[in-house]
Amino acid sequence: MRETEIAVVGAGPAGLCAALAAASCGAAVTLIDREERPGGQLVKQTHKFFGSERQDAGTRGIDIGRRLSERAMSHPGIRTMLECTALGYYADGVLCLEQNERFIKLKVKRMIVATGASERMLAFPNNDLPGIYGAGAVQTLMNVHGVRPGDRVLMVGAGNIGLIVSYQLAQAGVKVAAVVEALPKIGGYAVHASKIRRLGIPILTSHSVKEAHGKEVLEGVTVWRLDPGWRGIPGTEMRFDVDVMCLAVGLSPLTELLWQAGCEMKYVAELGGHVATRDDNLETTVKGIFVAGDASGVEEASSAMVGGRLAGYAAAASLGYCPDFETKKKQALWELAELRAGPTGEKIRKGLAALRGEAC
């Protein structure tokens, strides 16, 4: 059976940073990802990141992903397994994988789960028409494959993903008819909203989708205003003739592996759904299994990178590597606290407090 000291599942921002941190201490790492290239969602992020210099602020996500991927792929301590899916983890420390239609067993001493998150769907009549996409799919089409998703788009959701993808669509020359948001205010950063407003794209807050229209494919969408009880108000309907509707209505952590491994899970709405309870070192209730990134609670890439680094050092330290772990841990916790300190971090702070069983 193949062996490794630390298996990292998911090579997005959290997984790459976890693998690099653990390997930099001398641990033997196997980095696993189901895609053909590492980077996770970073490969689609053409906007410049926020944060500070320590988290590569001002650098575009795609460049951060490239840089981290190159470092991980060329690191002698990291073995990368791409187009490889983690299937299950068993109590004797065996991680089962599938690659090239082959079943592989990997004996691991520690595992870091950095599997990311999946996009949420929205319920409305005809939501199965071709032309209705998740925002991530639209980004993949445009930014990975260079394919225009359509000619005219209605964006649903004014969180950062909805705002950023609207901007990317406009950059690709696709007309964005409007951004629709059910909440009474814009959830994403104001600067992202201002960027698309000056392109002439309206943002309709307190509005949601009533229904989609079309025979074979999407031809239009009816939107209506919501009352404070989230019910559509008859008579406020507006129709948009669009061939694409893009849903950016939130993410849920991808936690199957953690459930299957027997980690204690808790539902925390602010973190996007069920997440694993864990200690300061991001170690779950199953000893030896750590979590990082969106799989541990939906947040954003800068904090995913710092969290991944912390999990990587912690896993290495638990194997006797990383003699200055306490210093490194302190630094990471400080950076996380700083990133989450402002009003935009309130939801995460509340979610993490709930996860720890504290009132916030």
Residue 178 touching another protein (CB under 8 A): no
- Minimum distance from residue 137 beta carbon to another protein (Å): 23
Residue 302 touching another protein (CB under 8 A): yes
Residue 48 touching another protein (CB under 8 A): yes
Enumerate residues 6+ apart whose C-beta is below 8 A from 355: 266, 268, 271, 275, 277, 297
Nearer Cβ to another protein, position 219 or 338?
Answer: 338
At which residue do the structure tokens 């996409």 appear? 133
What's the rounded Cα separation, in Å, for the pair 53 and 69?
19
Residue 331 touching another protein (CB under 8 A): no
What's the rounded Cα separation, in Å, for the pair 299 and 271?
7
Residue 190 touching another protein (CB under 8 A): yes
Member of 20, 164, 193, 268 binding another protein (CB under 8 A) = 193
Distances (CA, A) of 135 to 39, 191, 193, 229, 240: 18, 19, 16, 26, 18
Residue 49 touching another protein (CB under 8 A): yes
DSSP H/E element including 88: strand 84-90
Nearer Cβ to another protein, position 173 or 357?
Answer: 173
Member of 198, 229, 234, 287 binding another protein (CB under 8 A) = 198
Q: Which stretch binds another protein (CB under 8 A): 54-62, 72-80, 261-269, 274-282?
A: 54-62
**DSSP-based three-state secondary structure for 156:** strand
Half-sphere exposure of residue 87: CA atoms within 13 angstroms, side-chain side: 13
- Minimum distance from residue 319 beta carbon to another protein (Å): 32
Nearest Cα to 302, choosing from 119, 38, 47?
Answer: 47
Residue 58 touching another protein (CB under 8 A): yes
Q: Which stretch binds another protein (CB under 8 A): 84-92, 125-133, 191-199, 214-222?
A: 191-199
DSSP lists the bridge partners of residue 176 as 153
Member of 2, 3, 26, 52 binding another protein (CB under 8 A) = 52
- Minimum distance from residue 343 beta carbon to another protein (Å): 5
Binding pattern for the stretch 251-290 against another protein, x by CB under 8 A and - elsewhere: ----------------------------------------
- Minimum distance from residue 22 beta carbon to another protein (Å): 26
What's the rounded Cα separation, in Å, for the pair 125 and 112?
40
Distances (CA, A) of 90 to 97, 149, 263: 12, 41, 12
- Residues in the interface with another protein (CB under 8 A) total 42
DSSP secondary structure string for all residues of 300-315:
-HHHHHHHHHHHHHHH
Residue 332 touching another protein (CB under 8 A): no
Distances (CA, A) of 329 to 110, 150, 322, 332: 18, 46, 11, 5
Member of 28, 281, 344, 350 binding another protein (CB under 8 A) = 344
Question: Which residues would be at the binding site for another protein (CB under 8 A)?
Answer: 47-53, 57-60, 62-63, 170-171, 184-186, 189-201, 203, 205, 302, 338-345
